[in-house]
Amino acid sequence: MNNFDVTIGLVGAGDLPEARHFYVECGYGGGVDESDKVIAAHDADGSMIALVRLCSHERFTVLRGMQVRRRFQRRGVGARLLRHCLTFLENTTAFCLPYRYLIPFYGTAGFVLAETSRLPAFLRDRLALYSSSGLETVAMERESRASAISQ
């Protein structure tokens, strides 16, 4: 499955231009904000091969922009990147709006389908925009470990 070295870690402020360029190359239009926690995977040569953003809000985090270079897809890179994100999601409720076919992928990290009524307003609006654009996306939620324990 994955017979190559991959290093995963946070992207520093000095490397944000490279992250933005990576997203442009992948055709992702979401960009990168200075306040985002950006996590990247690099191959043995140091080339960026995958990227994801964690966008923090008052009481939750949104996982956005999971992109893996095409030649590295289906080789476990995205799964490793997603597992790395879990460290930052333990004490916060998290949402994502993935394509429908990725439900099992995000499910491996504890995300479940979310009722639209549970979404923050801006995510409801974004989901509606995606749907009206013909994208088959769904809302998913991962409860914080702290709130799951207290219930």
Interacting residues of 122 by C-beta distance below 8 A, sequence separation 6+: none
Q: Domain spanning 6-150: which superfamily?
A: Gcn5-related N-acetyltransferase (GNAT) (3.40.630.30)
Break the chain into its structural domains and give their ranges. 6-150
Strand-by-strand arrangement of the 140-142 sheet = 6-10, 37-43, 48-56, 60-68, 93-96, 140-142, 112-113
Contact 65, 72 (CB under 8 A): no
pLDDT at 148 over 70: no
Q: What is the DSSP track for 3-62?
A: -S-EEEEEPPGGGHHHHHHHHHHHT------TTSEEEEEEETT--EEEEEEEEE-SSEEE
Q: How does 64-92 read in b/e, with b if 16+ C-beta sit within 10 Å? A: bbbbbbeebeebbbbbebbebbeebbeeb
Higher pLDDT residue, 150 or 28?
Answer: 28
- Confidence class of residue 125 from pLDDT cuts 50, 70 and 90? very high
What's the rounded Cα separation, in Å, for the pair 50 and 6?
Answer: 10
pLDDT at 95 over 80: yes
For the segment 73-90, the average pLDDT, to the nearest whole number, is 93
pLDDT at 88 over 80: yes
| Cα separation of the two ends of the chain | 38
Interacting residues of 146 by C-beta distance below 8 A, sequence separation 6+: 90, 91
What is the CB neighbour count within 10 angstroms for residue 19?
Answer: 21
